[in-house]
């Protein structure tokens, strides 16, 4: 009888073991038994009644030969069943562990494992100076400089390139002619003065010197300013001179005040009858009062725009009154005056408001005031920093070429046609265009007044007073009584100021000495006190043109000396208001001094003269490089639409930071030779200003290049470099081999390529790749086929196969499935490239070694990093992709088809697709992650070709948005209690490895939720772990990183800003890319493991 404890039982029959397997297992149970079960089963059968011959064998000792024989056969059975189970597992896609097993199963359904894809990059070549144009052939080889632990990678150009020395590093225009607006632009609110650039660094100017500027306003005199700072620039051979208005205000206001004075004086001279029309009050006085209330250049400009159209109404009012006028001469005065005011205002408006150079606008989300990055604007800063570069067309053939722009008046095609029709102009046409004076000369003139002179008599003592012949007392005594002190000088405190001499004319000034350098036709600035001004020390400058200058001798005011007499075209002081009657001292009495001190005019006036015209220099172009058009620093010939260019420089569109450099790949779309333009008012029509563009005065022709797309960023002008000798290149090195000799007697003749791995480049095919292998038999090219089963007996095609070592074998047909090779001696040749995968994703500027150096080529560099390179499909990747290829079947119908098709595309590791709506039209958004999360730039071949393949094989009317995944960092902090028999130093790496595998890139999917329970399970399953306590299990986004997020606090304890329940929708909400959070092996501190010791 069988006992419950089995203590009296013998061995049992244990084989065969059950082989039932539920679905979804990663490993099949298929063994009939193990060594132990086989041995126990054979021992049990020794006592079986079915084998009476063995009843005599009584021993069961292992040392017995019979038991040893059973043990040996148990070992044989154990080995056989082990491999039988492994073979069974290798026969299923889910359970196979050998890569070849998966590849062979994939071939059964027509799927070929993706061999990887080559990285692509854009190279910028440098050509030697004074070299003729250099043609860089297709296949020119360059190498990268390996970093520690890396190997040198070879790249080859994908197309020929015509390069020139002038195109090595194009620079944007750095200087431009000065305009009145740029000169008068205030430096800051605290420093309202303007600045002007002069040629040379020896201007001999110093603070408080007088500058005279003529802005070319018709009817207006030049304006005087005071120098307060000089900044010489020896490198640029120019001097920046900062100035203020005469009394320290905004220089722009000085212009308007002078215009107002002119209008006011012209209106004051009109006959009294016309004052009834209040024209003077409506124009002259209004200008004076309202302009004085404007504090800045911008406010003055806006008021001018308001005032200028109203002049048409004033002119109409004059016409209405004309019928009532009887005096034609007076009528002409009014009309002339109104026209004069109109011209002055138009000129001032053009100076202050309408001479701005047309400049490209900045990209959106760029602010003029850049706040420092903080919690409140971190999203703006991050959005600007993460903004992708512009995406040009895939090649020149896809570039749109409008006929209107191609044959525009200033297009590049016309100089080319001229040089084509007249070849003798090839070497002289463009230099002539660059130096031609195609615009009017600038109307701005700057003068330095080198001398400051006082008037003749300024240092004269007061007019002496003498004792009279008789006083009132002597007069009362009668005739014959005289003052005994008669004729003696009286005390100086009783002397009087001189009366102005008769030769002091209102249009003449006598200087204190001889100034030989003061010439007729030059300018002078007369600084004098204001007329009828009670406040002492208020001085005004008066600009006059010297019509005649002569040195003479003069005796007045008790002085005799040589002087320079300056004669002006107009009066500079009012004789009626300021000339006092001459002092007539009677010989009989002492008269008191006159009340009016008219001699103050002589003593307080200073004349600044000896004007010297200073040569203007071009001013630096301060505005940024933005938009789709850039003006170059000269005239360049040969640039054609469709050429690749790379724009590099320091970004200026990032809020609160600087020093961030970026590079963008662009395609040249248009080239024109033109000048900068300004805008000006050309007329008025009852309040409507009419503007037109005109060439910038003093400007010369420059080359303007326009890109196919606007630049994604804005750049600091002085840091910008535009590489124009740019060509596309891909990873891999060309090999040329003789594979062997053909033998028509052999079927399926095969050859192995000596160099590996074979390079595959990205292509818009179903697989996403195209082979670089080119096989020729007797110098006739044979083409690669997917398999031989679909080939006929005359098809000159072959198939390739790659083993696990990435060695490639070429197999030809047998005469029935593909043509046989003809017999020949070494007539099978191959040209291919070797090199592929992630090592080709080199950093920017890492490629700099020339392996192929055509004559004249000096250097090479990659301003933008290489991207798109992916290693061959791994075992687990192939395991996932084989079913997906069968789901899509190379056509895209449902939304899931887009994800399945994308997932099997070479170089893509993960994909997800959703169907959404942008408000009016449905679209499919596909989010991708590179194989092993390689970087994928939107300008890379991988991105472009995937996008093209999705459109080619999907619904042509369905818009597609392709986005790269948003990566999040997974942060885990766990405290682990281990068994006392284990060492933490040994167990910790095992736990870390298990966590990196479970929460690594390969195990997780886009948008997949992460579970804390899964982290606990993974750690708990490591042998030696007793229990685990997870403190932190959270993700970190880039926004949180930039905001200073700390991972020391558990999840859920971070304070978040309140968000509105229903945000205001100002724009259409974009659909964000799927997120993917996984542990970053390159940052070990994202997984913190600590031992619990107590």
Which of 205-219, 377-391, 1021-1035 is predicted most confidently?
Answer: 1021-1035
What's the pLDDT score for residue 789?
87
User: 668-719: per-residue pLDDT in tens?
Assistant: 988 888 888 876 544 444 444 455 677 888 888 889 999 988 998 999 999 9
Question: Has residue 14 been placed in a domain?
Answer: no
Contact 644, 390 (CB under 8 A): no
Rounded CA-CA distance 346/344 in Å is 5
Phi, psi of 183 (to 5 degrees): -70, -40
User: 952-991: per-residue pLDDT in tens?
Assistant: 998 888 899 999 998 888 999 999 999 999 999 999 999 9
User: 695-705: per-residue pLDDT in tens?
Assistant: 888 888 889 99
Question: Has residue 21 been placed in a domain?
Answer: no
* Whether residue 345 sits in one domain with residue 234: yes
Rounded CA-CA distance 1033/1016 in Å is 10
What's the pLDDT score for residue 539?
84
* Whether residue 339 sits in one domain with residue 207: yes
HSE (side-chain half, CA atoms, 13 Å) at 667? 18
Burial class (CB in 10 A: 0-12, 13-18, 19+), 1053: exposed
Q: Domain boundary residue among 934, 964, 994? A: 964
User: 617-658: per-residue pLDDT in tens?
Assistant: 999 988 899 999 999 998 888 888 899 999 999 999 887 778
Query: Which letter does DSSP use for residue 611 in this model?
Result: E
What is the reported pTM? Answer: 0.75
Structure token pair of residue 398: 């896809």
CATH number at residue 809: 2.60.40
Residue 1051: pLDDT band with limits 50, 70, 90: very low
Closest CA to 598 of 510, 527, 529: 529
* Whether residue 921 sits in one domain with residue 880: yes
Rounded CA-CA distance 979/416 in Å is 84
Query: Which letter does DSSP use for residue 1080 in this model?
Result: -
* Whether residue 1007 sits in one domain with residue 1049: yes
Q: Is the pLDDT of residue 34 over 50?
A: yes
What's the pLDDT score for residue 216?
79
What's the pLDDT score for residue 354?
46
∠911-913-914 over CA atoms, to 5°? Answer: 155
Residue 266: pLDDT band with limits 50, 70, 90: very low
Question: Has residue 711 been placed in a domain?
Answer: yes
Closest CA to 99 of 78, 113, 83: 113
CATH number at residue 936: 3.30.300.30
Contact 124, 881 (CB under 8 A): no
Residue with tokens 């039932």: 20
* Whether residue 229 sits in one domain with residue 302: yes
- Beta-carbon contacts of residue 730 (< 8 Å; ≥ 6 apart): 118, 119, 120, 121, 155, 156, 158, 759, 761, 941
Structure token pair of residue 770: 């195209």
Q: Is the pLDDT of residue 1065 over 60?
A: no
Q: Is the pLDDT of residue 246 over 70?
A: yes
Decide: helix, strand or coil at residue 1026: strand
Q: Is the pLDDT of residue 822 over 90?
A: yes
Q: Which of 353-362, 806-815, 1002-1011 has the lowest mean pLDDT?
A: 353-362
* Whether residue 796 sits in one domain with residue 688: no
What's the pLDDT score for residue 941?
86
Rounded CA-CA distance 1004/403 in Å is 51
* Whether residue 857 sits in one domain with residue 746: no
HSE (side-chain half, CA atoms, 13 Å) at 658? 4
Closest CA to 921 of 978, 894, 975, 961: 961
Range(s) of the domain holding residue 907? 876-964
Closest CA to 606 of 685, 511, 691, 694: 511
Q: Which of 593-602, 706-715, 858-867, 1054-1063 has the lowest mean pLDDT?
A: 1054-1063
Contact 662, 651 (CB under 8 A): yes
Mean pLDDT of 163-180: 92
HSE (side-chain half, CA atoms, 13 Å) at 982? 19
Which of 322-331, 538-547, 576-585 is predicted most confidently?
Answer: 538-547
Q: Domain boundary residue among 723, 753, 778? A: 723
Q: Domain boundary residue among 914, 944, 964? A: 964
* Whether residue 341 sits in one domain with residue 253: yes
Asked if residue 754 has a cis previous peptide bond (ω within 30° of 0), the answer is: no
Q: 990-993 long-range contacts, Cβ below 8 Å, gap at least 24?
A: 990/1022, 990/1024, 991/1019, 991/1022, 991/1025, 991/1089, 992/1087, 992/1089
What's the pLDDT score for residue 414?
52
Q: 789-793 long-range contacts, Cβ below 8 Å, gap at least 24?
A: 789/817, 791/817, 791/818, 792/818, 793/817, 793/818, 793/819
Question: Has residue 311 been placed in a domain?
Answer: yes
Question: Has residue 1068 been placed in a domain?
Answer: yes
Structure token pair of residue 748: 């399926």
Domain count, the chain: 8
User: 1025-1040: per-residue pLDDT in tens?
Assistant: 999 999 999 988 755 5
What's the pLDDT score for residue 144?
97
* Whether residue 1041 sits in one domain with residue 1018: yes
Residue 425: pLDDT band with limits 50, 70, 90: low
What's the pLDDT score for residue 413?
57
Q: Is the pLDDT of residue 752 over 80?
A: yes
- N-term to C-term CA, the chain: 53
Classify strands 1087-1091 and 966-978 as parallel, antiparallel or unpaired.
parallel
C-alpha dihedral over 84, 89, 92, 97, to 10 degrees?
Answer: -130
HSE (side-chain half, CA atoms, 13 Å) at 414? 11
* Whether residue 767 sits in one domain with residue 751: yes
What's the pLDDT score for residue 55?
79
* Whether residue 653 sits in one domain with residue 607: no
Q: What percent of the chain has pLDDT over 70?
A: 72
Residue 1061: pLDDT band with limits 50, 70, 90: very low
CB count, 10 Å around CB of 607? 27
User: 544-555: per-residue pLDDT in tens?
Assistant: 999 999 999 999
User: 305-318: per-residue pLDDT in tens?
Assistant: 555 555 555 555 55
Q: Is the pLDDT of residue 359 over 80?
A: no
User: 564-575: per-residue pLDDT in tens?
Assistant: 999 998 888 876
Buried/exposed 196-229: b ≥16 CB within 10 Å, e otherwise: bbbeeeebebeeebbbbbbbbbeebbbbbbbbee
* Whether residue 682 sits in one domain with residue 651: yes
What's the pLDDT score for residue 887?
82
User: 479-510: per-residue pLDDT in tens?
Assistant: 555 666 666 778 877 788 888 888 889 899 99
| Average pLDDT of every residue of the chain | 80
Rounded CA-CA distance 428/772 in Å is 45
Mean pLDDT of 783-794: 90
């Amino acid at each position: 009888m069988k006992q419950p404890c089995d203590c009296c039982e013998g061995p049992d029959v244990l084989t065969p073991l059950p082989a039932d397997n539920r679905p979804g297992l990663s490993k099949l149970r298929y063994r009939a038994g193990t060594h132990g079960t086989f041995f126990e089963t054979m021992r049990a059968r020794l006592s079986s009644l079915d084998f009476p011959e063995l009843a005599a064998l009584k021993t069961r000792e292992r040392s017995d030969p019979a038991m040893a024989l059973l043990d040996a056969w148990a070992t044989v059975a154990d080995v056989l069943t082990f491999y039988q189970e492994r073979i069974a597992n290798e026969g299923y896609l889910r359970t196979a562990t050998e890569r070849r097993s998966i590849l062979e199963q994939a071939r059964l359904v027509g799927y070929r494992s993706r061999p990887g894809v080559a990285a692509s990059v854009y190279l910028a070549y440098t050509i030697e100076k004074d070299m003729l144009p250099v043609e860089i052939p297709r296949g020119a080889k360059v190498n990268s400089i390996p970093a520690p632990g890396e190997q040198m990678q070879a790249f080859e150009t994908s197309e020929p390139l015509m390069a020139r020395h002038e195109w090595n590093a194009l620079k944007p225009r750095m200087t431009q002619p000065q305009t009145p607006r740029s000169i008068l632009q205030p430096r800051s609110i605290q420093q309202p003065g303007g600045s002007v650039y002069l040629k040379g660094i020896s201007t001999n100017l110093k603070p408080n010197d007088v500058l005279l500027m003529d802005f070319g306003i018709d009817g207006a005199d030049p304006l005087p300013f005071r120098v307060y700072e000089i900044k010489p620039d020896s490198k640029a051979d120019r001097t920046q001179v900062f100035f203020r208005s005469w009394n320290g205000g905004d220089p722009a206001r000085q212009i308007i005040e002078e215009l107002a004075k002119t209008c006011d004086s012209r209106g004051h001279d009109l006959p009294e009858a016309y004052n009834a029309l209040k024209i003077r009050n409506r124009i002259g006085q209004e200008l004076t009062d309202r302009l004085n209330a404007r504090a800045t250049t911008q406010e003055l400009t806006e008021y001018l725009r308001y005032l200028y159209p109203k002049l048409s109404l004033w002119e109409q009012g004059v016409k209405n009154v004309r019928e009532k006028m009887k005096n034609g001469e007076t009528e002409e005065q009014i009309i002339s005056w109104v026209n004069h005011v109109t011209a002055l205002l138009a000129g001032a408006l053009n100076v202050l408001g309408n001479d701005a150079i047309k400049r490209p606008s900045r990209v959106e989300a760029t602010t003029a005031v850049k706040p420092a990055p903080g919690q409140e604007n971190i999203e703006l800063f991050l959005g600007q920093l993460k903004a992708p570069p512009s995406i040009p067309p895939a090649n020149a053939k896809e570039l749109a070429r409008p006929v209107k722009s191609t044959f525009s008046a200033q297009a590049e095609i016309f100089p080319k046609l001229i040089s084509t029709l007249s070849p003798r102009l090839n070497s002289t046409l463009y230099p002539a265009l660059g130096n031609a004076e195609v615009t009017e000369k600038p109307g701005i003139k700057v003068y330095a007044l080198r001398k400051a002179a006082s008037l003749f008599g300024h240092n004269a003592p007061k007019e002496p007073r003498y004792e009279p012949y008789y006083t009132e007392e002597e007069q009362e005594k009668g005739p014959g009584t005289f003052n005994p002190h008669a004729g003696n000088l009286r005390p100086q405190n009783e002397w009087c100021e001189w009366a102005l001499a008769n030769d002091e004319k209102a249009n003449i000034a006598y200087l204190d000495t001889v100034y030989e350098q003061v010439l007729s036709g030059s300018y002078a600035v007369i600084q004098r006190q204001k007329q009828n001004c009670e406040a002492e020390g208020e001085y005004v400058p008066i600009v006059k043109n010297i019509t005649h200058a002569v040195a003479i001798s003069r005796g007045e005011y008790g002085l005799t000396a040589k002087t320079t007499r300056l004669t002006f075209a107009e009066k500079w002081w009012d004789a009626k208001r300021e000339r006092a009657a001459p002092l007539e001292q009677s010989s009989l009495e002492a008269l008191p001094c006159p009340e009016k001190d008219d001699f103050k005019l002589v003593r307080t006036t200073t004349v600044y003269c000896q004007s010297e015209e200073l040569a203007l220099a071009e001013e630096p172009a301060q505005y940024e490089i933005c938009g789709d058009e850039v003006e170059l620093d000269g005239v360049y010939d040969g640039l054609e639409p469709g050429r690749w260019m790379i724009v590099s420089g320091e970004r200026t569109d990032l809020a609160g930071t600087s020093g961030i450099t970026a590079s963008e790949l662009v395609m040249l779309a248009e080239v024109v030779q033109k000048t900068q333009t300004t805008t000006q008012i050309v007329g008025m029509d009852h309040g409507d200003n009419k503007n037109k563009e005109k060439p910038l005065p003093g400007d010369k022709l420059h080359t303007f290049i326009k890109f196919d797309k606007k630049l994604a960023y804005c750049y600091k002008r002085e840091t910008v470099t535009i590489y124009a000798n740019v060509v596309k290149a891909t990873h891999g090195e060309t090999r040329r081999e003789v594979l062997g000799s053909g033998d028509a007697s052999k079927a399926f003749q095969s050859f192995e390529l000596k160099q590996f791995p074979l390079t595959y480049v990205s292509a818009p095919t179903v697989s996403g790749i195209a082979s670089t292998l080119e096989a020729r038999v007797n110098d006739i090219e044979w083409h690669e086929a997917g398999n031989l089963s679909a080939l006929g007996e005359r098809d000159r095609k072959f198939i390739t196969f790659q083993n696990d070592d990435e060695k490639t074998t070429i197999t030809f047909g047998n005469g029935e499935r593909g043509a046989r090779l003809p017999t020949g001696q070494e007539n099978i040749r191959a040209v291919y490239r070797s090199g592929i995968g992630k090592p080709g994703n080199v950093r920017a500027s890492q490629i700099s070694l020339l392996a192929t150096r055509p004559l004249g080529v000096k250097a090479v560099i990659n301003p933008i990093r290489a991207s798109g390179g992916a290693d061959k499909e791994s075992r687990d990747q192939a395991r996932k992709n084989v079913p997906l290829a069968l789901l899509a079947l190379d056509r895209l119908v449902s939304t899931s088809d887009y994800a399945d098709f994308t997932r099997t595309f070479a170089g893509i590791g993960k994909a997800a697709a959703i169907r959404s709506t942008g408000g009016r039209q449905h679209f499919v958004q596909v989010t991708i992650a590179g194989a092993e999360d390689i970087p994928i730039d939107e300008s890379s071949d991988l991105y472009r070709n995937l996008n093209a393949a999705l459109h080619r094989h999907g619904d042509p009317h369905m818009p597609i948005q392709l986005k790269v995944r948003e990566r999040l960092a997974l942060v885990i902090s766990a405290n682990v209690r281990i068994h006392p028999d284990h060492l933490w130093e040994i167990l910790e790496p095992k736990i870390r490895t298990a966590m990196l595998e479970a929460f690594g890139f390969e195990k997780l999917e886009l948008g997949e939720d992460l579970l804390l329970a899964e982290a606990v399970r993974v750690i708990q399953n490591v042998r030696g772990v007793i229990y685990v306590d997870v403190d932190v299990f959270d993700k970190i986004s880039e926004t949180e990183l930039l905001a200073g997020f700390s991972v020391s606090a558990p999840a859920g304890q971070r304070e978040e800003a309140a968000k509105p329940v229903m945000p205001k929708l100002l724009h259409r909400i974009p659909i964000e890319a799927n997120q993917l959070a996984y542990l970053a092996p390159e940052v070990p501190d994202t997984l913190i493991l600590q031992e619990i010791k107590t």
